[in-house]
Amino acid sequence: MNVNLTRVATEPFRLFFPLGILGSVIGVLMWPAFFHGWIGFYPLEAHARMMVLGFGGCFITGFLVHRQI
């Protein structure tokens, strides 16, 4: 088995941290996309949702699951 896959299998909470970073990047990139006209909606609620649930939720879940292992 691959070394990285073994690490993920033994410590699955580590997946939440890269997902949190991805959620924060998506949440922040909504603003330049809006101002350049790439998306047609005002991203206020979507930005807040991505930052709270995507970034915050993944990091909080990762730390809480890590503490219970």
Question: How far apart, in Å, are the Cα atoms of 26 and each of 3, 11, 19, 31, 60?
Answer: 29, 25, 10, 10, 18
pLDDT tens per residue, range 47-64: 998 889 888 888 888 888
Ordered by start, the domain boundaries in the chain are 12-68
Residue 18 confidence (pLDDT) above 90: no
pLDDT band for position 37 (50/70/90)?
very high
- Let me know the angle formed at the C-alpha of 34 by 39 and 49, rounded to the nearest 5 degrees: 85
Residue with tokens 């979507």: 46
